[in-house]
Structure 1
Amino acid sequence: MKNIMVSLCLSAVLSAQSFDTFLQKALNNSPYLKANILEIDKSELYGELLQRYKNPTLSLELSRFELSRGRSDNGYRTAITQPLRLWGVGNDKENLAYANKSERKSFVAFNRALFIKKLSLLYLEYVQNSALTTLAKQELEISKKILHISKERYKEGTIAKVKYLVTKIDLQRVQNLYNEQRAKKISTYYKLLSFAGENEELSLDEDYLFKRASHLTYNNSAELHYMKKRVQKQKAQAKLNTNKIEWVNLYAEYENEPDQDIYRAGVNIPLALFNAKKEEYSIAKLQAKQSEYRVQSNEINLSLELKRILKELRVLEELKVSMNELYQSQKELLHMYEEGYKIANIKLVELQNIKSRMIQTKEKSIEIMKNIQTNIVQYNYAVGAYNE
């Protein structure tokens, strides 16, 4: 029976899906990302819409002429008008269409990188809660062991009933904490699956470690690239708005009257007297300037963020080693105190304190490990490691 259980556990470990596989599957199947990719198709249609010509207008008229001496006759008029785009406006619209498409492409890339970052952080949250659940189970086993020792000593009459009840109550407390932690693990697990667009339960490898992309700089940031493309789009919009007049109407008409035929051709030219599009140009120019300042602010923030992460990682790595050493010492001490409690050389309160401190140390170690991995994920996102 023992061999069967070991085989089942080994099978579960071997079948656990790696984070890389899980991530790739999410990138391929996520409805959220599929919706974002459609932004590129929309931008192409927007470019065609922006550059298309206006339709011509056909006018038809029927006239009746009352002539002298009671006579009358009919006539008619037909005219066609075609809006013509002025020279130079077409180039500005083409530039705006190209800038808009580039901006949408960078937006899609930015959202993809942001998706990877959020998914990675959710994975780390799940791993942390899984580790805390394992720790809570470990504490539960220790509490059961202490309760068993207390029960035996109570039966032997070497401790009072109140001390036995204290260990029994402590076991109930630890059992409740264990169940609470199990609930948190379940919550983070399904939150991770939901964000990934995964509707089937699966086993995930919990030992994955993120590696820092040390060869990249913040200039590769997907967010920064997107912000710069927005500036280019706003400048293209401002350039288009410098055209006070975009269209003129070319017309031709033929008019038939009883005693003559009339042919006309001409151009209707709008006069930009009251609406010279000054406001539109100024607004677009101000928006571009605002975005340029935001790009500068983002560059400063990214630079400082990377410096912070690198310094914090150095401290956390040292703290991780120190915490692991402390945990091992406390674990060894706990074992000694358990043996001492069996033979009444150690007080119960001392044993409980050692156990609590050991558990707290392990909790801090788990938190430190999560902070290290979180910083690595944030660093990789900032330097564009998650770009396509």
Structure 2
Amino acid sequence: MATIRAFKAVRPTKELSHMVAALPYDVMNSEEAREMVKDNPYSFLHVDRAEVNLPHSVNIYDESVYKKAREILHNMIEKSVFIEDKKPCLYVYRQTMNGRSQTGLVACVSIDDYINNRVKKHEHTRPDKEQDRINHVNYCDANTGPIFLTYREEHNISEIIDEWTERQPVYNFVAEDGIGHTAWVIDDKNVVDRLTALFKKVQYLYIADGHHRAASAARVGLLRREEKPNYTGEEEFNFFLSVIFPDSHLRIMDYNRVVKDLNGLKLEKFLEKVEENFYIFPRSNNEPYRPEAKHTFGLYVEGKWYKLESKEGTFDEENPIERLDVSILQKNLLYPVLGIEDERTDKRIGFVGGIRGLKELEKRANNDMKVAFSLYPTTVEDIMDIADIGEVMPPKSTWFEPKLRSGLFIHKLT
């Protein structure tokens, strides 16, 4: 059973919403963030990446960065860039990319559901990244970036949300990257109560993206509980900001690999070793290959494209981790042929999100890398299957598009 709760969102005025809404803090580096905000004083990156307001010499994890985030957030509220809803509401958030939409419910989720694994995870988190967001949430006294959740679709929930989206939206704009953002406020208490009750019938929620934000939000809640031992469980710090999408709406893109060298092998010997576990098909007219089914791969090396197909017996179809294409590639090629023992730590391997296209793979392999691999996207069902058995996905398995924008909904903790 999933516990969701309405909340009084702090959100931008309609007129400024398109300028406030920003990509999540963790999809760019500090220099890229500085470039993004230089002509936009309203960008939420001024809060989420507050080092952009400070000299380059300041460490991005310095306390002054979190203090600046708090200062700017409070200033934006005082200057009425943001408004706060007068009563707890739920919200609907729709994103449209290349004619395809995904529509989710913006709500708060219980940290107890996270702790008790009713919010299921599929990734490990890094303590340093957790601590960064713990500091950010604590200083801002708010969840500023939503966690991207999914669930196995329930018709009754979708029906209510679909009906609500026929009303007038509070936000409706197309961002600079061409992605449309539309939002509605569900301020009818009867509808809020119905949705809350229906989610109690949802067995699990799953983190699609935002594991570090979720872990840090839960940790902040626990820290606040230690500070207030007489807490009731109803305080806002017991909940964290989320956008919850039905699984059928989500699209996972491929997450591809590039490797710096052939591990000392000549091309002919490399292909000979690859052929031990894969069937190799040179591409006619040297066409780039985007895999069209699971267990097929594209290989680009020395200016030529090949299609690879896994041979029988190279993986266990009954094992939800071993049957992932990222696992098959690692077990049967990256490690035994190219010597990539650990994708998390090996400096010879790089990762390219599918949003960048196959031309980016060619570019990398022709310049700073030597060989590239295109993969078939992991599915949402794969994520759920692995989370259900308490395991985690291999590194760099999923690339979700579009990304949730930050700044459209903020959840205050007090």
Normalised by the length of structure 1, the TM-score is 0.19
Structure 1 or 2: more helix by fraction: 1
Of structures 1 and 2, the larger Rg is shown by 1
Normalised by the length of structure 2, the TM-score is 0.18
Structure 1 or 2: more strand by fraction: 2
